[in-house]
């Protein structure tokens, strides 16, 4: 019998609901809310649930929306419960954003999604559940880079290896590179192991792993490497998770490294029957012990040279094929073991992290790894204007290693991408500063402006310029809160409470604050611990019962052990926030900073209070410590209106209305080091980095290059980047520098920056000048005059201010000359007092201060005090807390 919808009566035309009609409106009303507003390609990516799917999502095409809508669709269709979906991202920020969006779509259902997070957080969760199977305990500590280096220094010292010739940080980079490629100590190619410590690199890696087990610790690489070993050695555990996850979703797939790739491939295989041999569960694995063998680069991604140049790892990544037989999942799935529903979202044109192990080949090989995979391209950009997208697409088309897509927009063409040359990097900074102030005068928010540099050393010129202009700015990627010394110390106490075997944390605080336990005592504890193969805390318990230590040191160590025992007992009956306060007080750590007389002691105490406050949102101490170990990014200051200054790598995932891209010169961008170490592959990654920079811009993208640039203290003459010639001429406009001189000119060197004096006159209308004048007016209204002009000029003396109603440019001094005492026509710069290491260095002007002896005053930095000496406008004040200081009277006010 023919199905009703297959009937096609002769002469009856096909019917589609008319736009805006009752049927169309009824259909729209029946459509789930989360599907509303999706374009056809996005909707296809959301609704294609069966089999492997690769979503090629270009910059600004709404990939995060697609991912969250896909999860919502899976749950709404009843295809899986929240706990049966594995969704992995690369950053905690991305995971939080996805949870927030899902919460808005689904309400409380998102709370039941324990497997939504970063690779490392999910890997750590799995590892804690099966820690005993990999010789760990469930409360193992996750070490950060600082602790890794300290541990490796100990191993180098024990092996009599010169740390200056063979730095521990270099070895840490090598080990991290090996772990990123899924290599255990026995699988490291001999040629790579030989590059450190006269051939002892592999041995040290093995000793490091052994020491980690004794300390009940793991580093970030272990969170995935030990997962892979767990799955390989215990197929029943792998089968458990293969059965659990009905859907797998991966964000930023182009940034996965070999270890992440292996981990995903294992979980994406269909589970086999219990008792099946390993080779049937894991394609490519063998049941007998494995002898590492070299494989062709077509079998494993990562065949580019110099995968991790930052760590000195210049060996070809294809050598990691020695892990082929030891690490399963490297071959295509067998026909009888079809991959499950895995959806990977990424952009091969935005793979810019090859230097830290990311493999763009993983996304390029997706259809080979998952036969029959459906590839969906998201090419409709919702961020940038037409000219910006055309320039970015034309540039990236010069890359050969890409799957191919062309970004398009339904937005207006907008302003063309501008290219500006400058004489040197200082002029470049001035020009960009001028343009930013022009945008500010046109009511553009500073938060919508970013400067993206290729190398961090470029930032200094801009910071200096912004300080001069009075422009607020923030540097993205600066020192992090949890990396400060006082925070590390406090966390070390908490880590020892949580895991007594954490030697690195114990060693950090054993004599902080001072307890008379010097290096000799710590060395003795290390020797005892190594001989007995026990943690330092256990060695300390044994030592305090003997006469090996002097009585005072023995008593201090015994008191510390007793304190830790007491704190662990309190942990069971006290909240973790209250426990942290108790530990900081009873250990004497808070008192140490209270007695410290340094200028930053008060700030450190505030940081400790903030640390305790930050613990409140976590359920327990272990959850908080896990969070600290995994969270590497920090948000802050976003509420202030300020220009963002960052490297191109840090800008990934961000967007701004106005983006300035300085330093487009050969050797700097593309980086000569990258070209030397990685050849064509490095050039293509640099071009992808340029593509990322351009696509951060929503409305304006402005490129700059300098003819002369000082790099590491040496001036060099440069030539424009090859990327500039790869831009499409119809979408680019050449402009002149606004930094005081043009580039080029009849002389070949360009006109002098002093040829055009109009810029001095026009500077008085800049926001920086207006801010300075507002500050000056506030000072005058306060009865103390002498305000500081932001640009270094005193408007009442300026020869350019005669047309102003409040100016006194016609005023002459006794000699009849205008301006400064030298009669140059320019006033002497009137600047504020210099600050050297927190001390104000002031010079008396001969004026009489309005303050009197014994006046009680207040200073913003030093607090309350009493005037004890007056020298013109310079006061000597005895501050209640800061002691006696000399300051200018305009910096204080009566209390």
SS3 378: strand
Q: Give which of 97, 63, 65 is closest to 635, Cα–Cα.
A: 97
DSSP structural state of residue 461: H
Q: Which of 41, 144, 192, 252 is catalytic?
A: 252
H or E stretch covering 705: strand 697-711
Q: Which of 696, 738, 753, 874 is catalytic?
A: 696
Instruction: Please tell me the distance from the alpha carbon of residue 601 to that of residue 592, in angstroms, as a whole number.
Output: 9
Q: Which of 42, 184, 187, 350 is catalytic?
A: 350
SS3 293: coil
Task: Please state the length of the chain.
Answer: 895
Q: Which of 64, 574, 770, 773 is catalytic?
A: 64
State phi, psi for 365 to the nearest 5 degrees: -100, 10
Q: Give which of 319, 326, 356, 330 is closest to 193, Cα–Cα.
A: 319
Residues 6+ apart with CB under 8 A from 271: 239, 242, 243, 281
SS3 455: coil
| 8 Å CB contact between 847 and 878 | no
| 8 Å CB contact between 35 and 46 | yes
| 8 Å CB contact between 228 and 358 | no
CA dihedral of 605, 607, 608, 612, whole degrees rounded to 10: 140
Instruction: Please tell me the distance from the alpha carbon of residue 832 to that of residue 888, in angstroms, as a whole number.
Output: 9
| 8 Å CB contact between 347 and 393 | no
Instruction: Please tell me the distance from the alpha carbon of residue 760 to that of residue 164, in angstroms, as a whole number.
Output: 52
CA distances in angstroms from 858 to 421, 491, 891, 895, listed in the order given: 49, 36, 9, 5
Instruction: Please tell me the distance from the alpha carbon of residue 647 to that of residue 471, in angstroms, as a whole number.
Output: 19
Instruction: Please tell me the distance from the alpha carbon of residue 112 to that of residue 83, in angstroms, as a whole number.
Output: 6
Q: Give which of 524, 483, 538 is closest to 216, Cα–Cα.
A: 538
Q: For 23-136, where are the E strands, in sequence order?
A: 53-57, 85-89, 116-118
Half-sphere exposure of 801 (CA within 13 A, CB side): 21
DSSP structural state of residue 804: S
β-pair partners for 688:
none
Task: Say whether 64 is catalytic.
Answer: yes
SS3 836: strand
Give the ranges where 291-424 is alpha helix by DSSP (H). Answer: 361-364, 366-369, 386-396
Task: Say whether 63 is catalytic.
Answer: yes
Instruction: Please tell me the distance from the alpha carbon of residue 130 to that of residue 110, in angstroms, as a whole number.
Output: 25
SS3 433: helix
Task: Say whether 350 is catalytic.
Answer: yes
Instruction: Please tell me the distance from the alpha carbon of residue 405 to that of residue 407, in angstroms, as a whole number.
Output: 7
Mode of pairing for the β-strands spanning 874-879 and 883-888: antiparallel
| 8 Å CB contact between 439 and 449 | yes
State phi, psi for 570 to the nearest 5 degrees: -70, -25
Asked if the peptide bond before residue 620 counts as cis, ω within 30 degrees of 0, the response is no
- Triad 410, 412, 416: Cα angle to 5°: 125
Q: Is the dihedral of CA 614, 504, 128, 179 positive or negative?
A: positive
Instruction: Please tell me the distance from the alpha carbon of residue 225 to that of residue 262, in angstroms, as a whole number.
Output: 9
Task: Say whether 252 is catalytic.
Answer: yes
Burial class (CB in 10 A: 0-12, 13-18, 19+), 523: exposed
| 8 Å CB contact between 390 and 731 | yes
State phi, psi for 198 to the nearest 5 degrees: 55, 45
- Triad 149, 152, 156: Cα angle to 5°: 135
Residues noted as catalytic? 63-64, 251-252, 350, 696
């Amino acid at each position: 019998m023919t199905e009703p919808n297959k009937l096609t009566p002769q002469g009856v035309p096909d019917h589609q609901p008319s736009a805006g009609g009752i049927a169309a409106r009824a259909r729209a009303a029946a459509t789930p809310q989360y599907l509303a507003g999706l374009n056809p390609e996005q909707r296809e990516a959301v609704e294609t649930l069966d089999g492997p799917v690769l979503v090629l999502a270009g910059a600004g095409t709404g990939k995060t929306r697609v991912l969250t809508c896909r999860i919502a669709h899976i749950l709404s269709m009843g295809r899986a419960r929240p706990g049966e979906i594995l969704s992995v991202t690369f950053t905690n920020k991305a995971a939080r954003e996805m949870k927030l969006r899902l919460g808005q779509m689904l309400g409380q259902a998102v709370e039941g999604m324990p497997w939504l997070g970063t690779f490392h957080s999910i890997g750590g969760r799995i590892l804690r559940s099966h820690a005993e199977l990999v010789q760990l305990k469930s409360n193992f500590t996750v070490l950060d880079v600082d602790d890794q280096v300290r541990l490796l220094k100990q191993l180098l010292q024990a092996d009599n290896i010169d740390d200056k010739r063979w730095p521990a940080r270099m070895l840490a980079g090598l080990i991290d590179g090996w772990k990123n490629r899924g290599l255990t100590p026995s699988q490291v190619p001999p040629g790579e192991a030989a590059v450190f410590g006269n051939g002892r690199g592999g041995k040290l890696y093995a000793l490091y792993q052994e020491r980690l087990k004794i300390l009940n610790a793991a580093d970030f690489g272990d969170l995935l490497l030990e997962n892979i070993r767990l799955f390989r050695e215990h197929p029943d555990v792998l089968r458990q998770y293969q059965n659990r996850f009905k859907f797998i979703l991966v964000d930023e797939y182009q940034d996965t490294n070999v270890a992440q790739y292996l981990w995903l491939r294992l979980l994406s295989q269909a589970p086999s029957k219990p008792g099946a041999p390993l080779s049937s569960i894991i394609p490519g694995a063998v049941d007998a012990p494995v002898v590492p063998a070299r494989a062709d680069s077509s079998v494993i991604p990562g065949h580019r040279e110099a995968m991790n140049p930052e760590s000195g790892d210049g060996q070809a990544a294809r050598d990691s094929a020695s892990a082929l037989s030891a690490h399963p999942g490297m071959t295509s799935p067998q026909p009888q073991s079809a991959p499950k529903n895995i959806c990977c979202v990424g952009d091969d044109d935005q793979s810019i992290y090859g230097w830290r192990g990311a493999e763009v080949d993983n996304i390029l090989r997706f259809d080979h790894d998952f036969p029959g995979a459906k590839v969906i391209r998201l090419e409709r950009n919702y961020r940038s204007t037409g000219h910006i997208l055309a320039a970015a697409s034309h540039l990236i088309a010069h890359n050969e290693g890409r799957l191919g897509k062309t970004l398009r927009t339904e937005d207006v063409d907008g302003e063309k991408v501008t290219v500006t040359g400058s004489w040197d990097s200082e002029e470049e900074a001035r020009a960009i500063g001028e343009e930013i102030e022009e945008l500010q005068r046109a009511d553009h928010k500073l938060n919508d402006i970013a400067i993206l540099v290729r190398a961090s050393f470029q930032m200094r010129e801009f910071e200096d310029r912004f300080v001069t202009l009075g422009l607020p700015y923030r540097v993205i990627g600066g020192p992090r809160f949890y990396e400060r010394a006082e925070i590390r110390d406090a966390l070390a106490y908490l880590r020892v409470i949580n895991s007594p075997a954490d030697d690195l944390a114990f060693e950090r605080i054993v004599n902080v604050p001072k307890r008379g336990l010097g290096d000799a005592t710590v060395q003795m504890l290390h020797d005892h611990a190594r001989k007995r193969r026990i943690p330092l805390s256990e060695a300390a318990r044994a030592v305090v019962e003997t006469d090996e230590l002097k009585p005072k040191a023995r008593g201090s160590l015994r008191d510390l052990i007793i304190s830790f025992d007491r704190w662990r007992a309190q942990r069971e009956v006290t909240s973790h926030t209250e426990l942290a306060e108790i530990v900081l007080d009873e250990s004497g750590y808070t008192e140490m900073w209270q007695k410290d007389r340094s200028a930053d002691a008060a700030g450190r105490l505030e940081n400790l209070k903030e640390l305790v406050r930050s613990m409140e949102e976590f359920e327990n101490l272990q959850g908080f410590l896990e969070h600290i170990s995994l969270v590497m990014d920090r948000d802050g200051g976003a509420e202030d209106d300020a220009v963002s200054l960052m490297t191109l790598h840090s800008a990934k995932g961000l967007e701004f209305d106005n983006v300035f891209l300085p330093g487009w010169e050969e050797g700097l961008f593309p980086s000569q080091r990258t070209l030397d170490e990685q050849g064509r592959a490095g050039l293509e990654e640099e071009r992808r980095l340029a593509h990322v920079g351009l696509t951060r811009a929503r409305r304006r993208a402005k490129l700059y290059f300098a003819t002369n640039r000082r790099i590491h203290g040496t001036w060099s003459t440069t030539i424009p980047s090859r990327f500039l010639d790869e831009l499409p001429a119809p979408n680019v406009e050449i402009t002149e520098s606004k930094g005081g001189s043009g580039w080029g000119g009849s002389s070949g060197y360009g006109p002098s920056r002093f040829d055009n004096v109009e810029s001095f006159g026009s500077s008085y209308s800049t926001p920086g000048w207006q801010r300075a004048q507002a500050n000056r007016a506030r000072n005058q209204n306060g009865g103390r005059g002498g305000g500081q002009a932001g640009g270094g000029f005193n408007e009442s003396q300026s020869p350019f201010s005669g047309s102003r109603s409040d100016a006194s440019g016609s005023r002459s001094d006794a000699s009849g000359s205008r301006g400064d005492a030298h009669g140059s026509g320019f006033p002497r710069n009137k600047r504020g007092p210099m600050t050297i290491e927190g001390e104000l260095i002031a010079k008396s002007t001969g004026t009489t201060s309005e303050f009197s002896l014994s006046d009680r005053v207040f200073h913003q930095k030093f607090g309350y005090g009493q005037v004890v000496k007056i020298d013109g406008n310079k006061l000597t004040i005895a501050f209640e807390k800061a002691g006696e200081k000399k300051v200018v009277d305009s910096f204080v006010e009566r209390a």
